[in-house]
Amino acid sequence: MTMYNAPVEDMMFLFENLKDNKNYNEIEKFKEINSDLVKDILDQAAKINQEIVHPLAKIGDENPCVYENGIVRSPPGYKEAYTRFINDGWTSLSCDPKYGGQGMPKTVSTFFEEMLSSASLSFKLYSELSIGAYNCILHHADQKIKDIFLPKIVEGKWSGTMCLTESQCGTDLGLIKTKAVKQNDGSYAVTGQKIFITSGDHDLTENIIHLVLAKIPGGPTGTKGISLFLVPKFNVNENGSIGTRNGVNTLSIESKMGIKGSPTCVLNFDNAKGFLIGQENKGLSSMFTMMNLERIIVGIQGLGIAETAYQNSLSYAQERKQGKSNNNKDNKTDEIIKHADIRRSLLNMKSIIQGQRSLAFWLSQQIDVSLNHTNEKIRKNAEDLVSLMTPVVKSFFTDMGTEITNEAIQVFGGYGYTKDQGIEQLYRDNRITPIYEGTNSVQAIDLVFRKVLNNKILLNFISIVKEEIKINQETSELKEFSKILSNNLRLLEDFSTLLEKMNKTNKDDVSAACNDFLKVLGYISLAFSWFKISKISFKKINDNKSFYEEKINTAKYFYDKILPRAEMHYNSAKSGSNIIMNAKFN
């Protein structure tokens, strides 16, 4: 079984030193969220995740969800843990106090999302989609729906799902066949089948609230004819109590490579009573409120699992003896952490993980501004930055999670390949993250065609990084970082220009370059994060010498050993698509 210790110190370093977004600091309701309060929350979060949730990871993998007699049963211990989880108020952390929430900003709740992902992704998925459903209902439902459904979701007594995919369509939602027919009482009868529904049915909550994409007969074709409906597992009475069973049934649950403690369901809707969320034929835009935030959280899943992989790899490398290092003087067998290649693997993990955590914290501030600032223009600018970075966080973090969990297996050697240590489970659990909520290739295409070629959001991000360099370029300790980061920004600008030229001549060239561009933006974004971390570390080095020296050394490693990957991806993209499109497959 793996071990996990929540990185509270690193999280508090970010909260205390890099909460430097001027617009974020102007949000009145967050001014009382001080370091003492956040430290207390993170300490309590660490305790429940380390002691209660983390042991469930192995239990859920070895005793997966089962479907019998029409009922989906969760793994042993999940019910008891979930009861403790909601009684302690963790489902309400970031929700509006109006509906029973604690009103914590994303700068705090994102840390909790990471801890929960590190501890047990399967357990996390029972509540994760509930928060997505909460956000969608909060922003798009009428007040009556909010008043009935949100308090129970915030409390954790009711959970939520998002039902998009059907057997004939995943990404191309215009092909969905589920239909919704309006009834005399204003509700809709929803009929169809949805697949791959995370936590679509289970025994942890009293009710499950499905958000379902469907088409109203007679509406426009394709995605323009999609509407969004709230369909509860059990009908809800006017007074908010649970009524009769609705026409929603589970046909089966999937047998999967990983996240076995989370049920992935095939759901059948047979004239199920549903309620329109938002406007008719505008369902996709409403659902995107849920999907976009969910994509960021999926990126955090990759980060969280990578953190667990790193911690266990480090612990193993400090204890496992094998061979003699090059500077061995006593002719005794050394711990493998003394070997240069193992140290390289560990620093790969560490520099990527800590850079990602910092970038996620920066993005969390942008999310909070986009949702809460009083100035509409400032909100819109922050929203644009969130839009730009969403596919980066979703794809880059999860791809790196796959790389890091794979490297962790390598550090463990043969033991990593066996089930006893739990390392191979981290790889299997993470492997879904580059797939669900829109595959990473789809995210890369979305980034390039919608966020780079058709608007100027990228220029806004580049200007933010340039301003950070400009302010600090005369600081002697940061000069080398400034030079390298500036050179990579020019590479990013050149790449963007190249895409614009390709788009005018051969769109296949652009499509073939999308993944490379996303990786380039990802690595440069982490370099930006490490630049900000280094700035603070040089200033405060005398406060905690070992802590800040290690930050600086890790930043240097990232700049020297990881960031050069960006140029490789750029060079790959420049070669175009002819070789790809002319290839013959027999």
Q: Which residues are catalytic?
A: 437
End-to-end Cα spacing for the chain: 44
Extract the tokens encoding 452.
Answer: 């780079």
Amino acid type, 60: G
Q: What are phi and psi of 564, to 5 degrees?
A: -55, -15
Three-state secondary structure string covering 563-582: CCHHHHHHHHHHCCCHHHHC
Residue ranges of alpha helices (H) inside 413-478 are: 414-417, 423-430, 440-446, 457-472
CA angle 397-173-445, nearest 5°?
A: 40
Tokens 């049915």 locate to 201
Say if CB 187 and CB 228 are below 8 A apart.
no
Distance between CA atoms of 225 and 213, rounded to whole angstroms?
Answer: 10
Instruction: Tell me the chain's radius of gyration from C-alpha atoms.
Output: 24
- Residues across the chain: 586
The conformation of residue 98, written as its DSSP 8-state character, comes to: G
The two tokens of residue 67 are 């479907």
Strand partners, 181: 189
CA distance 387 to 362: 14
* Closest listed residue to residue 273, CA positions, set 293, 300, 244: 244
DSSP helix/strand/coil, 323: coil
Amino acid found at 157: K
Whole-angstrom distance, CA of residue 79 vs CA of residue 65: 12
Residue 502: burial class (beta carbons within 10 Å; 0-12, 13-18, 19+): buried
CA distance 415 to 34: 44
Pairing of β 66-68 and β 234-236: unpaired
CB 249 within 8 A of CB 274: no
Alpha helix (H) residue ranges in 251-339: 283-319
Provide the token pair at 528. Answer: 């930006």
Report the C-alpha gap between 99 and 101 in whole angstroms.
6
